[in-house]
């Protein structure tokens, strides 16, 4: 598609409104992450790696340096520099994989986890407040919608 899409039907207009809302939400997330980078004195890649580790930790999953490189779309050399920087600052530790001693995993330090939640927790609290007026069915629809958008964007 090389031309701007122009809604032709009421459904098209609703879809355009949804895409506009997604863009506004994405912009708000970018601003929040920018604020967090400043609060935590980190660059974008450092914070993105921290967020990945927090999410995977919540799922009970281990994270390898290779997975960080793939998630951030950076080279292994850049990943090594990132991990060295975050290890030196006390945010990360490299450890042997618990079931494969040939592999390494990257984990958050307790101090980094506390710092992350201190900065992120207030923002998440405001997001939860914003969701309070939605019904369970509406929240399920939002979850489904966002999952479909992630898939559509190659997530």
Please determine, for residue 24, whether its predicted confidence score (pLDDT) is greater than 70.
Answer: yes
Distance CA 47, CA 92 (A): 12
* 13, containing H or E segment: helix 10-40
What was the pLDDT predicted at 87? 96
Distance CA 78, CA 48 (A): 14
Residue 121 — pLDDT band, cuts 50, 70, 90?
confident
Please determine, for residue 25, whether its predicted confidence score (pLDDT) is greater than 80.
Answer: yes
Cα Dmax for the chain: 59
CATH fold label, 31-152: Arc Repressor Mutant, subunit A (1.10.10)
Please determine, for residue 155, whether its predicted confidence score (pLDDT) is greater than 70.
Answer: no
How far is residue 154 CA from its own chain's centroid?
A: 14
* 45, containing H or E segment: helix 44-59
C-alpha separations of 33 from 25, 65, 86, 101 in Å: 12, 22, 17, 35
Q: Could you read off the pLDDT of 82-115 as tens digits, one per residue?
A: 999 999 999 999 999 988 888 999 999 999 999 8
Q: What percent of the chain has pLDDT over 70?
A: 99
Residue 10 — pLDDT band, cuts 50, 70, 90?
very high
Residue-range domain boundaries for the chain:
31-152
Buried/exposed code over 118-147 (b: 16+ C-beta within 10 A; e: otherwise):
ebbeeeeeeeeeeeeeeeeeeeeeeeeeee
End-to-end CA distance of the chain: 21
Specify whether the CB–CB gap between 54 and 108 falls below 8 A.
Answer: yes
């Amino acid at each position: 598609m090389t031309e701007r899409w122009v809604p032709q039907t009421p459904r098209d207009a609703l879809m355009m409104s949804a895409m506009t809302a997604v863009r506004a939400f994405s912009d708000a997330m970018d601003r929040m992450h920018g604020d967090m980078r400043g609060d935590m004195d980190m660059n974008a890649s450092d914070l993105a790696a921290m967020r990945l580790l927090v999410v995977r930790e919540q799922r009970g999953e281990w994270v390898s340096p290779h997975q960080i490189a793939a998630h951030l779309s950076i080279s292994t050399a850049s990943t090594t520099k990132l991990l060295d920087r975050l290890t030196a600052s006390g945010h990360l530790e490299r450890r042997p994989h618990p079931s494969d001693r040939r592999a390494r995993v990257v984990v958050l330090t307790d101090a980094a986890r506390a710092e992350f939640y201190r900065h992120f927790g207030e923002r998440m609290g405001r997001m939860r407040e914003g969701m309070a007026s939605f019904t369970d069915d509406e929240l399920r629809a939002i979850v489904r919608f966002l999952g479909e958008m992630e898939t559509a964007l190659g997530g």
